[in-house]
Structure 1
Amino acid sequence: MTITLSNGESRSPRVITRLGVPATVEWGWDTPGASGGWGMVITVNREADGRLRTLTTYREGYPFKPVEGSHSALANSGDTMELLRRSQTGGPDLKLSRTVTLLPAGFKMPTQESKPRG
């Protein structure tokens, strides 16, 4: 996933979660001098036809003025989706590009010991 704010800030977090389990990504809420923060909770479920439904709930704002919204998208595993969300609080706009990939049933997260060093 690539998240880009109109003020030039960018993040590329990799979010790995199980189907139906919400995953949270946020930044800027506790950063000194930041104009506000963005956060999102992403939940992916599989539809009866095999496609993946991604529900993203957004939170943004300045202290004492939070704004929430949500977006739902349906795609096949491996498809890339893009979304532009305009700021509701005067902060930077959010551009989100994400690819949701369904991993194999036996997928195991790599451990620190198995990661290459270098």
Structure 2
Amino acid sequence: MVTRVILLAAGLLTSGAAAAAETPAGCPALSLRLEEEIARTPRLLEPANEQTVRDLRTLRDAAIVLDAYAYGPECERLSVILRELLANPRKTIGQGGDTDEEKAGAVEEARTPKAPAGRR
């Protein structure tokens, strides 16, 4: 299990569809070929939709991590959501993430690793 988690984490750290294809299969999110779908969808390639593409990749990566920690049903649910979003890119872009700058700042702040108190 530890080896599988390490292999999956390594796959997530490298970019591109080839890295995902080399990651041990198990999670349906891997079979979605997300990068190929993005490349085939001109609207997703537009600069205005960069956040939507980042969100799709984040959901895929989250599904893989859930699978690595043996949360199979949750991985499958995220995979279903990804399939739905990819099936209708126009709707996905239309209902895309909030552009509120405060919320975006909060997300970036939450992503920044924090040092434990007293360790700086």
TM-score (norm 1): 0.24
Q: Which has the higher contact order (CA 8 A, sep 6+)?
A: 2
Greater helix percent: which structure? 2
TM-score (norm 2): 0.24
